Structure 1
Amino acid sequence: MQSLNRNGVSITQTPGEEKFVKFHSVAFKGRTFYQYDYRHTDGELFSTVAKMLAECRHKRDEWIEKKKQGNNR
């Protein structure tokens, strides 16, 4: 299986970059999931796991929006 981590550190290092891998979870009876990493332009890393890539990206977009709202206070 591919990994988004090397020695416990995300390989998603370039600001604005996203990486993902599709995997089958033994713990969830072989269901397919996506591990998703996104490195924000400010350098902060967002990571999530979801059943669909679109769901990962939706979670990322919500996270970015919360960051924007937090910076406007």
Structure 2
Amino acid sequence: MLNPKNLANGQEQHETFKSSVTRKKAVQYDYRHTDGELFSCIKPTLEACRQAKENWIKKTTQPH
């Protein structure tokens, strides 16, 4: 079981599991940004999780 409280800034953690709803493999992913904000998602692959994280970082670092 993942615990995002254990993440230092700039670290990621992930865990693969079989969804009880879809019966398919999925990845739970957590990333703590260098500013301390937590990003979490569930996607079919680790690569999809990392892409979602990169998209999130781009959105959060854009000037408003």
Using CA pairs under 8 Å that are at least 6 residues apart, name the structure with larger relative contact order, 1 or 2.
Answer: 2
CA RMSD for the aligned pairs? 1.1
> TM-score, normalization: structure 2?
0.92
Q: What does residue 4 of structure 1 align with? A: 2
Q: What does residue 16 of structure 2 align with? A: 22
5+ residue gaps, structure 1: none
1:16-72, CA deviations, whole angstroms, 9 ceiling, x for partnerless residues?
00000000111112x100000000000000000000100000000000000111xx2
5+ residue gaps, structure 2: none
Does 2:17 match 1:39? Answer: no
Indicate how the Cα distance of structure 1 residues 67 and 54 shifts in structure 2: closer, same or farther if over 3 A, else same. same
In 1: Cα distance, 2:14 partner to 2:5 partner = 11
- Provide runs of 4+ in structure 1 moved above 4 Å: none
The secondary structure found in structure 1 opposite 2:58 is: helix
**Greater fraction of residues in strand:** 1
In 2: Cα distance, 1:50 partner to 1:23 partner = 11
- Match for residue 51 of structure 1 among 40, 44, 47: 44
> TM-score, normalization: structure 1?
0.81
1:12–1:18 contact (8 Å) kept in structure 2: no
